[in-house]
Chains A and B, each alone.
Chain A
């Protein structure tokens, strides 16, 4: 069966520090992968998605970037965090027709 992992589960970072969040999927090959952010009390905002290695589509211009160095690995990065980057970051993968979310990383920028 397929499993999606995210780490870390929680993170507290100061403004201006770098960020690296990792997502890996097991039990499937060449999945579509997604990064979402959910601010407190808000809806899901799609940040990036990838249909294959090295293929990244950006949905929202901001100080975040994404990379997909391996088939089942998706990384979200930032060189300098802003207070507004705080939120719940969710990785997701798409099977044939359905999308499944990972457990998420809760990021607090102080």
Chain B
């Protein structure tokens, strides 16, 4: 099992809908997680961090962490065409003493007007 796994997509959602992205992780990843957004040709931008079980909301974004099931999700409400990007899930690798961030392969999101 990979340390962090994501569905590569593309996830196509109509404008105004909710985009739901999922990420699963192994026991080799610590339970602090991050979502990055990467536009084509640009560097990844940190958009959400979640450290404890439950939900964390920031604007139109909600991150959810379920430690028992080992998954993290990101909800994008009222999706806009500007949300079209690749979203990367990441967590700190335990074996590297928290010094190395392990990334999933990314989920491409397409928001259609």
Contact = CB atoms under 8 A, between A and B. Distances in A.
Interface of A: 32, 34, 43-44, 46, 49, 51, 57, 59, 88, 90, 94, 97-104, 106
A44 B43 contact: no
Contacts of B88: 43-44
Given A94-B101, A99-B46, A101-B44, 10 more contacts: A43-B103, A44-B103, A49-B99, A59-B100, A88-B43, A90-B44, A99-B90, A101-B36, A102-B43, A104-B43
Interface in B40-87: 41-46, 49, 51
Interface of B: 32, 34, 36, 41-46, 49, 51, 88, 90, 99-101, 103-106
Contacts, number: 43
9 contacts: A32-B99, A44-B103, A46-B100, A57-B99, A59-B100, A88-B43, A98-B49, A99-B101, A104-B42
A100 B37 CA distance: 12
A51 B103 CA distance: 19
